[in-house]
Amino acid sequence: MPKTTAQLVPFCLALAISLLPQTVLAFDGQTDDGGGSGGRPDQQMQETADYGDIMDDVEAVIDAMDEAMGNSGSTAEAFRAPTPESSHKASRTSQPKIAQGPRTPSPIVVELFTAEGCDVCPPAQEMLGNLQGRPDVLVLSWHVDYWDYLGWTDGFARPEFIERQKGYNRSRGARTLFTPQMIVAGETALDNPNPAALTAAIKHERAEGDHVAITRRGDAMRSEIELSPLTTLPGEIMVQLIRYIPNRTVDVTAGENDGKQLSMYNIVVGNEVLAHWDGKAPLRMTVTLGVGRAGSFPADTRHALIVQQLHHRSPGEIFATVLLD
């Protein structure tokens, strides 16, 4: 094993390159109980995609792999940033840290599980629309298909979105699914929400403050992002790329909403787990958008990163959010 920094740098670089197809690719396009785009949770670490696809979409590059990579060659270590001690020792040879600037609090994520075929969902969609322009909130609409049997097929629904909703409900001990349902910051569930309850939940989550500091450099197409823990975090955290389209209207001609025109906001069209993080040392990533598989999504697709707890492979509290465009 290399003994000096001069020997360690090429060793780590070669190791990182050799690991990349097995580690980053294992997360591309896969899902867990928290949702995703394709695949069962137990397939997540088994299925791989073509190397070119993942490098087209997103590059997850961890810098300054000094002692962290020297101590372990596991997949988990490939995503782990250096310890404070190793970062200090490598500071003269590694790339400069992302410049620290004024920190803006992360937006509170408000997720709506909805369906075009559900007659009590339009008021909840309207509430989502009223929040859409707020800079301190990110609204996301996840469409589910278990109302399709009533005669109208929701074109935005995906089975993996139902799995995300099931994961939230398992975490809180609920046995049935409900639409419309809102989840605020991954913690507070609101079945058949009303504006007062939603406002109170957002205010409560905002009062908690941030759990992760975010620094960012670059532009909308390519960003260097560093996540640093501000408090003690749980040991398993996933970093997800969420793709969503800002708005659509649909004329429904069957089912419970027959004859209605529905307005929908920030509709999720893709969800990919990019990395797993232990929440201890800073995590640095480079995220590139707008190329490769992105061409299969609508031209107005937007993107966000969500840093979220995994609780027994189910989605939990959301610790940070980065709006990428």
pLDDT at 295: 64
Residue 174 pLDDT? 85
Cα separation, 119 vs 254, whole angstroms: 11
Domains identified in the chain, total number: 1
Tokens 């707008």 locate to 290
> Which pLDDT band, with edges at 50, 70 and 90, does 104 fall under?
low
> Sign of torsion, CA 168 173 176 179?
negative
The whole-number pLDDT of residue 39 equals 36
**pLDDT for 294:** 58
Please indicate whether residue 38 or residue 252 has the higher confidence score (pLDDT). Answer: 252
Lowest mean pLDDT among 20-34, 158-172, 259-273: 20-34
The model's pTM is 0.69
153's CB contacts (< 8 A; 6+ apart) are 117, 145
**Range(s) of the domain holding residue 128:** 1-325
Residue that is written with structure tokens 């087209």 in the block: 56
Q: Tell me how far apart the alpha carbons of residues 27 and 95 are, in angstroms, rounded to a whole number.
A: 26
117-143 average pLDDT score: 95
Write down the pLDDT at residue 230: 93
What is the biggest distance separating any 2 CA atoms in the chain, rounded to whole angstroms?
73
